[in-house]
Amino acid sequence: MPGTFDTRLQVNKVIQGYTEATVNLGVVNTGVTLTQNYGTVIYAQLTSATVTVFTMPPAVLGKRFTLILTQANTGSATAGTATFTNVRWPNSPGLYNVSTLQLSRDILSFISDGVNWYGIYSVNYSYGVADKAIFGYGAPSGVSNLTNLVSNTGVVATDVTGVGTARQYLAAAGYGVDKAIFGYGFIGGTPYSMTNLVSNTGVVSTDVHWSGYC
Amino acid sequence: MAGSIYPGDELLMFAFNAVMHNTVRQSFRGTAIFGYGYIGAVNTSLTNLVSNTGVVTTDVTGVGTARYTPAAAGYGSDKAIFGYGYANYYASMTNLVSNTGVVSTDVTGVGTARQFLAAAGYGTDKAIFGYGSPPMTNLVSNTGVVATDVTSVGTARNSLAAAGYGTDRAIFGYGYPAFSMTNLVSNTGVVATDVTGVGSARGYLAAAGL
């Protein structure tokens, strides 16, 4: 009940298998105010070539939270950077320098003594890089739904038996962090407005039909 | 189409596009865009955004010269470009796309007007248009400026596809009428000679980074 102190949490209690509430701030730009109101595990991704100022919540004794910070999906030359208000880092007056590798992740934990926030960090976790490609569909003789994956070194793999409606004159693009989509297309004289999503391992999913001509 | 969740999508016959390079799709905050094409017997410049979960949005009224068989790729850290195509004539104009998916008006074309080409991002912030009919390549700067023609390397072909791979390279592959070779693009935009094809030779396909 709001406003009522729960004596069950006073002392020497065991909490098992708990999960902290998470908040995903998505891609952040020049400034963002952190709050623990909606979760104590906060996700954010930097914007390329942008300094993001993270404004900390009010310092309250005993408060703590974790920030999982993902670098932009660009090369180091255009990496985003991060600064924090009212945070003391190890090896005072140490600083935290965000990892600059594409899509690298840093994990930052913060705890407050009521005056300051203290930051502890582990950096440069591998998170995920979109580094492959896929060719798909087309017309070898009639229409096809064959796909061919391309490795991160540019090597094309053999045909993969297709999924989805065979067609040609379609288009494709990447979306999300590491996925792709084939869309639209043409069979004989008929246009189609279906799409096929592609997983981050190159697996093409079945047709998603939008409207008409499907 | 009344009552349709996505009215008009079925009319987008030749939806060439592609924000293929991973840099761009991330800077688009995980989104992509389909654009231009062919509606019945009429060229179109309609676009459709794709959310970061792969959901296609409804048609957005087109900007720029309606045409089909253009190509598109990402450039800069968060933008894209549509270029070339067929607008009842071979076209060379380009249309820049903002990081919110807004397509700008025509930019006077540079390079040989052509269609059935392909495009992809390379480096960390540039793009390349390549091949097509007639075959040629054109580099795109990180501000969306298209450079003059560079003579094509490798087998001349059209109706091929291209995508980014690795962290900063691109690949052209396949093509009409029945080619399966590929051509790798370095992180400085240099197209390499043919690599013997793997997989079924074919044209009119599509490609994307993932």
Final residue belonging to a domain, choices A91, A125, A159? A125
The domains of chain B, with CATH numbers, are 9-152 (2.120.10.80)
Q: Per-residue pLDDT tens for B23-51?
A: 334 334 468 899 998 877 789 999 999 88
What's the confidence (pLDDT) of residue A130? 73
What's the confidence (pLDDT) of residue B41? 76
Partners of residue A47 in chain B, C-beta under 8 Å: 27
Alpha-carbon distance B8 to nearest alpha carbon in chain A (angstroms): 8
Partners of A112 in beta bridges: A117
What's the confidence (pLDDT) of residue A158? 95
Q: Are residues A138 and A106 in the same domain?
A: no
CATH number at residue A83: 2.60.120
Rounded distance between C-alpha atoms, residue A56 and residue A87, angstroms: 8
Burial A154-185 (b: 16+ CB within 10 A, else e): bebbebbebbbbbbbbbbbbbbbbbbbbbbbb
Q: Are residues A26 and A88 in the same domain?
A: yes
Does residue A6 lie within any of the structural domains? no
Helix (H, G, I), strand (E, B) or coil at A130: coil
Does residue A9 lie within any of the structural domains? no
- Find the CB nearest B9 among A129, A198, A210: A210
Nearest to B6 by CA among A163, A200, A208, A52: A208
Q: Are residues A82 and A113 in the same domain?
A: yes
What's the confidence (pLDDT) of residue B193? 97
Residue of A151 and A78 predicted with greater confidence: A151
Backbone angles phi, psi at A88, to 5 degrees: -105, 135
Q: Are residues A93 and A171 in the same domain?
A: no
| B105 contact partners, CB below 8 Å, separation of at least 6 | B63, B64, B95
Least confident of A4-8, A127-131, B150-154, B169-173: A4-8
Q: Are residues A20 and A121 in the same domain?
A: yes
Q: Are residues A47 and A108 in the same domain?
A: yes
Alpha-carbon distance B112 to nearest alpha carbon in chain A (angstroms): 22
- Residue linked to tokens 């894209």: B80
- Find the CB nearest A27 among B29, B178, B202: B29
Are A156 and B6 an interchain contact pair (Cβ–Cβ within 8 Å)?
no
Rounded distance between C-alpha atoms, residue B164 and residue B170, angstroms: 4
Final residue belonging to a domain, choices A103, A125, A147? A125
Q: Are residues A118 and A172 in the same domain?
A: no
Does residue A68 lie within any of the structural domains? yes
- Across the range A76-82, mean pLDDT stands at 84
DSSP structure class, residue A153: T
Q: Are residues A29 and A116 in the same domain?
A: yes
What is the share, in percent, of chain B residues with pLDDT greater than 70? Answer: 85
Partners of residue A172 in chain B, C-beta under 8 Å: 18, 20, 161, 163, 206-208
Residue of A14 and A3 predicted with greater confidence: A14
Partners of residue A150 in chain B, C-beta under 8 Å: 163, 165, 171, 173, 207
Strand B179-185 and strand B169-175: the pairing is antiparallel
Neighbours of A145 (CB within 10 A): 21
Are A47 and B166 an interchain contact pair (Cβ–Cβ within 8 Å)?
no
What's the confidence (pLDDT) of residue B72? 94
- Across the range B122-134, mean pLDDT stands at 91
Contact B47, B33 (CB under 8 A): yes
Using the predicted structure, report yes or no on whether residue B124 has a pLDDT greater than 80.
no
Does residue A41 lie within any of the structural domains? yes
> Which two structure tokens, joined as six digits, stand for B11?
């009319």
Domain count, chain A: 2
Least confident of A127-131, B39-43, B156-160, B163-167: A127-131
Q: Are residues A119 and A160 in the same domain?
A: no
Backbone angles phi, psi at B70, to 5 degrees: -80, -175
Most B CBs within 10 A among A73, A158, A207, hence the mutation to make, goes to A73
Q: Per-residue pLDDT tens for A102-161?
A: 788 999 999 999 999 999 999 988 776 678 999 999 987 789 999 999 998 999 999 999
> Confidence class of residue B125 from pLDDT cuts 50, 70 and 90?
confident
- Residue linked to tokens 């596809």: B161
Contact A160, A148 (CB under 8 A): yes
Q: Per-residue pLDDT tens for A27-76?
A: 899 999 999 888 999 999 999 899 999 999 999 999 999 999 999 877 66
Rounded distance between C-alpha atoms, residue B119 and residue B137, angstroms: 9
Using the predicted structure, report yes or no on whether residue B5 has a pLDDT greater than 70.
no
Q: Per-residue pLDDT tens for A184-204?
A: 888 887 888 899 999 989 999
Q: Are residues A171 and A77 in the same domain?
A: no
Q: Which domain holds residue A192?
A: 133-198
> Which two structure tokens, joined as six digits, stand for B170?
């691109």
Q: Per-residue pLDDT tens for B93-116?
A: 999 999 889 999 999 989 999 999
Does residue A90 lie within any of the structural domains? yes
What's the confidence (pLDDT) of residue B83? 96
Q: Tell me the ipTM for this assembly.
A: 0.87
Does residue A209 lie within any of the structural domains? no
Helix (H, G, I), strand (E, B) or coil at B72: strand
Contact B121, B164 (CB under 8 A): yes
Using the predicted structure, report yes or no on whether residue B16 has a pLDDT greater than 60.
no
Does residue A1 lie within any of the structural domains? no
Q: Are residues A38 and A119 in the same domain?
A: yes
> Which two structure tokens, joined as six digits, stand for A86?
């009212």
Are A176 and B201 an interchain contact pair (Cβ–Cβ within 8 Å)?
no
Q: Are residues A85 and A163 in the same domain?
A: no
What's the confidence (pLDDT) of residue A32? 94
Least confident of A5-19, A165-179, A181-195, B127-141: A5-19
> Which two structure tokens, joined as six digits, stand for B133?
């009919």
What's the confidence (pLDDT) of residue A3? 54
> Confidence class of residue A5 from pLDDT cuts 50, 70 and 90?
low
Are B77 and A72 an interchain contact pair (Cβ–Cβ within 8 Å)?
yes
Work out the angle at residue A86's Cα, subtended by the Cα atoms of residues A85 and A90, and round it to the nearest 5 degrees.
110
Using the predicted structure, report yes or no on whether residue B10 has a pLDDT greater than 90.
no
Rounded distance between C-alpha atoms, residue B61 and residue B48, angstroms: 9
Using the predicted structure, report yes or no on whether residue B128 has a pLDDT greater than 80.
yes
Largest Cα–Cα distance of chain A, in whole Å?
74
